[in-house]
Structure 1
């Protein structure tokens, strides 16, 4: 019997699951287990598959992810949950390796890892280092805006833009107007905020990619805070990071627009600090793929850490 680790993808027909499967296709350092269509909703067969795996990757709706975890009886099974079911739950390690110097090690040794949400990945990447450095107060009245490709809405939304009635799909949609989106608690917890941020999401008529932005008023920040102090703090935090790049001051000054698709099909993310120091207006921005660093790319990055740390 092979000694290669067995990885079970539960929910491999969804948008994230399909991309994870594609990213793992051809790997020779692991074995992939998926269930045929007739067995995907068979609780007994799913339980057998999960309990036979070394690592189970859950690409499921929240309720189904909780159910999948409840099926685990084998204490050796480790889990990466790509849903939002456990992102603020006790006992789960947050799967953003660049969160801190210690986080990749925590992920490598964890039994339960919760993959970050796509939008929270960008917000937390920008805010966590600045809050930790004391440059953005934990109680700052934050408003976060983000535009994603339509694939962020899953298979049903992809069908609207790529199916038979694609011509009727809206070119741009802002949603979550009740300001009760599920992402703010995740952002608040992992960015180290004391107050819930306002979050306004949108999606456009492009398949994948995200631009996320956070506007700041210098008058509400510690004295002397400007574009360069914010940029320097981010650059210091992500120095040596493989997948996160911070624009230099010169690069930011030369940037007039942000294309949400520049990192599509990769696990990379670019952070930038822009604004008008004369007016005290500052803008934090993150660009990444909602299906890459925001979903499947992050899951595979966490999987690799767990395989190396096993």
Structure 2
């Protein structure tokens, strides 16, 4: 049985499309764009570079495509082309249509409410009139904005003092000891060998001030059939020292996570204990406008 091509496929061997148009050259490429889905258009876009001036004309036409991601990619390709016509076409910037969604990354503002420091992670909070979150970057794709926000959150986590948000933890009913257990921060990780785990435990004990456990770990390793997992579980280890206050405990654990380079867990700790240090705000475009690519991460 002969398999008929899709509307976006090139035609070989004398076959024809359902509309009887045989695809070939730049006109064939234009025809394929006409029937293509947004994702198919994205795959076809680089083919325009094979057709010199005619390809530039097609890219310019695609600057007005219904799909934002197609318009953005067409713009990016035109930027790479050394052509006066291409330069003139992108001079206005990237067209945004009503209904398009774009995403802005904000640095959360810090508010002192006479009881504790608090993070403001929404733009519609009435307090933002006096202390607004700072816009850091803009993106055409949500996933890229989320990655940028997480990176910013991680960076700020290392520059701010989590313990200064301590009273807010009480308001959020946050327990650091419970968090450490639930997230298995100190437990043996999947595919971690006994030797790797023992070395990490040594670093953990040292970073958290439990140097006596380093000695016990070494002594136990001299025993035959020592089960490190069972031994560590029996410790019910939380990292807490005897007679330690909550503030002292948190300050020491925070420092330990930094020393151990536990970047991801440290970022998660901030989110659950105090809140996000950066966030993404979605904007739905309401009218046609053009934006400068310099203002967007593309």
**TM-score, normalised with respect to structure 2:** 0.25
Q: Which has the higher contact order (CA 8 A, sep 6+)?
A: 2
- Larger helix percent: 2
